[in-house]
Amino acid sequence: MDVQLADGVTIVRIDHPPVNAFTLDLVRDATATVRNIDGPIVLTGAGACFSAGVDLRAILDGPPEYTDTFLAAVSEAFLTVFDHPAPVVAAVNGHAIAGGCVLAMAADVRLMSSGLIGLSEVAVGVPFPVAALEICRYAMGPSVTRAVLSADNIDVPTAAARGWIDEVVAPDELIGSAVELARSLGRHPATAYAAMKQQLHRHARAAIDAGEELDAKVRAVWKSAETRGAISAFLDALK
């Protein structure tokens, strides 16, 4: 994670070429980075992609213990962004696919300039951890059902029409606009902002906190031979 300060706003860039895919080390770094930040955050990706989601090759190459540890860690990373008491603005600078889309949904506000965005997990053959699905349910509202079950990646205008993103911004204006928005939100009294955010998240958080049994089933599915075969077929098709 690359961190830069901009007049009271911390810009956090996911910097893991070529597509900022999530590995165990990356999501742990993301969690530690965000936890060490006070005040508003702009979350974006380095290069031309926000994030293509989970590094599926690392899942296949690792032992079952890696999958268990990774799923717990990526859920923790999503929740660390979701629970950050100060404003979080996602500056979606390119494709935000699967886990990348979830990470964008964990922010308070989303600006997007280019690329595709969507929840492709079902197409890959893997289920969502509880935290990921509840964050998306909170941010996407009724359209989450279509997003999850269709598993389509949609363009910026369509995402804006569905309410997944709050504003379409030109690429050369994206970071500046996100920083200004984060700074503006950060002018509200911090205690009140954090309290309102906590109340807004209350129902999602209750579902997440009650989801241990569901998450155990999710982990078992991810480690099954059927799922590993589906992931392998998906990666072969990408080639």
Domain layout of the chain by residue ranges: 2-174+186-190
56: Cβ contacts below 8 Å, ≥ 6 apart: 124, 231, 234, 235
Whether the Cβ atoms of residue 180 and residue 3 lie closer than 8 Å to each other? no
Structure tokens at 220: 């078992």
CA gap 92, 229 in Å, rounded: 31
Query: Would the pLDDT of 43 be above 90?
Result: yes
Given pLDDT bands bounded at 50, 70 and 90, which one contains residue 53?
very high
* pLDDT confidence of residue 7: 86
Query: Would the pLDDT of 116 be above 90?
Result: yes
pLDDT tens, residue by residue, 118-145: 999 999 999 999 999 999 999 999 999 9
Q: At the top level of CATH, which class does the domain 2-174+186-190 belong to?
A: alpha beta
